[in-house]
Structure 1
């Protein structure tokens, strides 16, 4: 390569251009073009670094490295700093230059890592297009310690070709990544809103959202944080292929960067300083993460979604777009859940209003009549009209019996007459009336349950037996409930016809199952249904017993 004719220069550029168009794989393309460059120029060795915006680099291709640089999986070539890398990150390397002495080769020789094959110097050429930089091209030969200006000019032209190819390939990868991520977003959004429609409580939505993110996206870790009382607290977190139950508050020194999100609706990449406060809390979090605010319909930005990136920095823009879209869908789902809770509360209010109307139209009217009749009887007694007083008292007796009958009828709608004898007995009796054998297993004390929990337990048990009688085509159901720490666990299993729960949900859902879920969630509980055609149905409910402690206090 001591003297380059114009024909040789054109031939070299033509050969490189043809090689660059032979592959759509970055590493394969760079490896092939490096091999071809050494072949047509007569140089002996070379390597290519690709750089990112975080001052990190990767050895993407190499050819004919000496044994000294091949030791320990090319550790000396892959790690550490050197003159060309330092100048690149300092923005002081703009053109092809001669390296007086390669630090990597000198270190390898001084450390006795093996034969350097006489390689001591190389030319360094930045890969760039205008202001956009991509990496470095290093080439050299044994015994060659200087490159002429025309040689450097040719290498500069080759580097420009490589830069254009890298830019083209990165744009292609970005568009491919964008398409893949938005396809995942569609599935994520659909399942998230299905969970809300199925009756998931708003307080459980953060955990569901993070579980679905882990299921559909390839981000190594994700966390949803909420600002409460001036501090950020983790609501849900996933890392290492598992949910992490660590609902801690972040230290104040780790919150300053997240506070910036309250002033913007855009995502941003956390800097090394930002990450310092977080990586001390979460060992799973690397030095590369994105954060985006979850903007509620009210305009508040008290929630933040944080993800760990696994993709190269040139895909940050794509990941940011997807992350912002994810937060929009989470915000929409949270609003959907809030409206669903309001709807269920309206249903409960309507039920109470109906009961109030029934009481007013029946029992209250009778009690009013009894009051007026009692006043009349009092007047008759003062006037010693014994016959009229006796008739008034008889009327009061009749009204009281009617009122008692009406009251019992209303109570029966809310609570079975024999519930005081125990929920277990009540469910057995209820099953007998429907022709269902209820096999019960009870562990722990359930006779002093808080009234809301007791009523909920009765109602879901009642609905379980109803479903078996109406839909399961079974004659027996096994029900168990037991106390575990501060929770009451309810489990029911039948061996009936079962059901396709997804089909039931898409068809509008079973009213009975929806009411069961609403009752469980109204006391802060969780309900899980498992079924398939021909496999019966398994109902699992967890009801909190904190209410009992509050009432005892």
Structure 2
């Protein structure tokens, strides 16, 4: 190699190195480098392909392409295949080489796409950073069908510089994105803390979470997946500035398997485009979910007993970065803390309601209950005084009615106080119902199948349902005995109240006192995801059955 030629190569490498350090924008940097390289080497055309792990290629930069390759918005550079790309995918292109001919240019001649500027061949150089393969640099000139070893060596040196610069830019963009994502995390956390006070339950909070994520982050799609009773549903999704509630249909078996993989991983995992489509479109076309690309999903480490939730995002065409995984896991922790705060707030409200009911029960006991008791005693005394005369006083019958009504009102008041302040639950649900039935003048036989603890809200709901059922036995069945059975399994609690009375129980309506009670029982069961069944006949009596699902954590 002559000294002049060597000096020219040194100047070229130095100029390219300086050019690479002038920008952190990849497209601008590549356009500038390609044009500068062609200027220094006397070549006329050049282009760069970036090729990802899946083998998909993109022409990210070009300079002075012949008209034949510019047709229809550079379609020949965006579609089809060629020798250099195929060899790159196969792992056989490790250094700068001569290309005997170019498939794209051959097609241009064959199909008469336009002028090729007499370019038939090009050199191709792999772009790499360490062991990481990034893409290809191609350069050409009219009537040039061969590149010397020194030319290829120079191109290889330039390619190493470009590869290193691309990796530097990638790291710079990743750090910049990480900083941006974490800055938005602080803003999201502040808004989420305010949203907790506006939400009355976890479902409302899920919708609010999805909306806030969509507003703070640039992810094309954010969604919350809910698992309840082993069924997965898309609870809410935010895309295109709109929150969609999609919980009406459960996910397919394939999509559910993907969700199980996420839960079992205990951390954020990536989802392919195929998996994303299985989750959101269920195999059916959906314009709002078109072209779903890869995504990330992270399980929420804390969840309501019996339920699990998964936070999911869809990414842009650039694919996931380490920062996306880190921030999604941090978001899952923040959302978990918010759910815990919401649960504590619900517990505080429940304690406040219990305290208010206890206060009301004490007030009723100290005031109205005592007055009714006094009224009953007074009526009995007046009745005794009037009955002692020789001639029966006409007010005696009225006093009897007053005494009877006051005693009935006293019994109803005691039952109301018992409902407001459920004493005896600490000894167990069946014991409390048996004692309550005894206080109402009923003989109650209790049976139990299965052993496990009941959450407080479920135990209290069954207690209220059992109370109302025993009240109906006392008022309407015409008998003084009932049977209460509690069956517990791993998945549900079943409370049955049976009597052998005259039957005729109404279906839950609000037209009468008794049917209103049945409606209230039904609402209590359904509020916990359960159901209420009533079977009544004049020959066999009435059976009231409440079935409520149990959380698996209580086993």
Shared fold (TM-score, shorter chain, > 0.5) = yes
Query: CA 1:192–1:228 in 2, change beyond 3 Å: closer, same or farther?
Result: same
**Larger mean Cα displacement after TM superposition, 355-364 or 193-202:** 193-202
Q: Deviations over 1:174-225 (max 9, x none)?
A: 1111111222222222112201123443221111111112211111122211
Shift of 1:53: 3.2
Distance 1:366 1:299 in 2: 46
TM-score (norm 1): 0.66
SS in 2 for 1:69: helix
Distance 1:9 1:211 in 2: 56
Q: Is the CA contact 2:219–2:313 (under 8 Å) kept in the aligned structure 1?
A: yes
Question: In structure 2, what is the equivalent of residue 172 of structure 1?
Answer: 172
Residues matched between the structures, number: 410
Distance 2:329 2:106 in 1: 48
Matches within 5 A, 1:382-393: none
Alignment partner for residue 309 of structure 2, among 299, 303, 310?
A: 303
Q: Is the CA contact 2:234–2:245 (under 8 Å) kept in the aligned structure 1?
A: no
Question: In structure 2, what is the equivalent of residue 320 of structure 1?
Answer: 325
Matches within 5 A, 1:19-38: 19-38=19-38
Q: Is the CA contact 1:285–1:308 (under 8 Å) kept in the aligned structure 2?
A: no
Q: Is the CA contact 1:265–1:293 (under 8 Å) kept in the aligned structure 2?
A: yes
Q: Is the CA contact 1:231–1:252 (under 8 Å) kept in the aligned structure 2?
A: no
Question: In structure 2, what is the equivalent of residue 269 of structure 1?
Answer: 270
The two structures, once aligned, show a CA RMSD in angstroms of 3.9
Q: Is the CA contact 1:262–1:301 (under 8 Å) kept in the aligned structure 2?
A: no
Question: In structure 1, what is the equivalent of residue 334 of structure 2?
Answer: 329
Residue 207 (1) aligns with residue 213 (2): no
Distance 1:6 1:300 in 2: 74
Distance 1:320 1:71 in 2: 40
Query: CA 1:44–1:265 in 2, change beyond 3 Å: closer, same or farther?
Result: same
Query: CA 1:270–1:2 in 2, change beyond 3 Å: closer, same or farther?
Result: farther
Q: Deviations over 1:397-431 (max 9, x none)?
A: 9x97xx99xx9xx99xx9xxxxxxxxxxxxxxxxx
Residue 358 (1) aligns with residue 363 (2): yes
Matches within 5 A, 1:190-269: 190-247=190-247, 248-269=249-270
Q: Is the CA contact 1:43–1:140 (under 8 Å) kept in the aligned structure 2?
A: yes
Structure 2, unpaired ranges of 5+: 421-522, 528-532, 535-555
Q: Deviations over 1:467-524 (max 9, x none)?
A: xxxxxxxxxxxxxxxxxxxxxxxxxxxxxxxxxxxxxxxxxxxxxxxxxxxxxxxx99
Q: Deviations over 1:316-358 (max 9, x none)?
A: 2222222222222222222222222222222222211111111
Question: In structure 2, what is the equivalent of residue 94 of structure 1?
Answer: 94
Question: In structure 2, what is the equivalent of residue 344 of structure 1?
Answer: 349
TM-score (norm 2): 0.66
Matches within 5 A, 1:373-522: none
Shift of 1:5: 2.9
Q: Is the CA contact 2:228–2:306 (under 8 Å) kept in the aligned structure 1?
A: no
Distance 1:55 1:325 in 2: 32
Shift of 1:381: 7.7
Distance 2:205 2:145 in 1: 65
Q: Deviations over 1:277-319 (max 9, x none)?
A: 2453453352222222222167988212222212523x52222
Q: Is the CA contact 1:221–1:285 (under 8 Å) kept in the aligned structure 2?
A: no
Q: Is the CA contact 2:97–2:125 (under 8 Å) kept in the aligned structure 1?
A: yes
Q: Deviations over 1:121-147 (max 9, x none)?
A: 211111112112222111122222222
Shift of 1:79: 2.6
Query: CA 1:54–1:212 in 2, change beyond 3 Å: closer, same or farther?
Result: farther
Query: CA 1:217–1:208 in 2, change beyond 3 Å: closer, same or farther?
Result: same
Shift of 1:77: 0.7
Q: Which of 1 and 2 has greater Rg?
A: 2
Alignment partner for residue 299 of structure 2, among 289, 293, 299?
A: 293
Shift of 1:374: 5.9
Query: CA 1:114–1:378 in 2, change beyond 3 Å: closer, same or farther?
Result: same
SS in 1 for 2:367: helix
Query: CA 1:348–1:333 in 2, change beyond 3 Å: closer, same or farther?
Result: same
Query: CA 1:47–1:299 in 2, change beyond 3 Å: closer, same or farther?
Result: farther
Query: CA 1:229–1:84 in 2, change beyond 3 Å: closer, same or farther?
Result: farther
Distance 2:378 2:86 in 1: 102
Distance 2:314 2:4 in 1: 49
Distance 1:29 1:227 in 2: 48
Distance 2:63 2:109 in 1: 19
Residue 51 (1) aligns with residue 51 (2): yes
Distance 1:299 1:371 in 2: 49
Distance 1:4 1:342 in 2: 84
Q: Is the CA contact 1:82–1:104 (under 8 Å) kept in the aligned structure 2?
A: yes
Shift of 1:29: 0.8
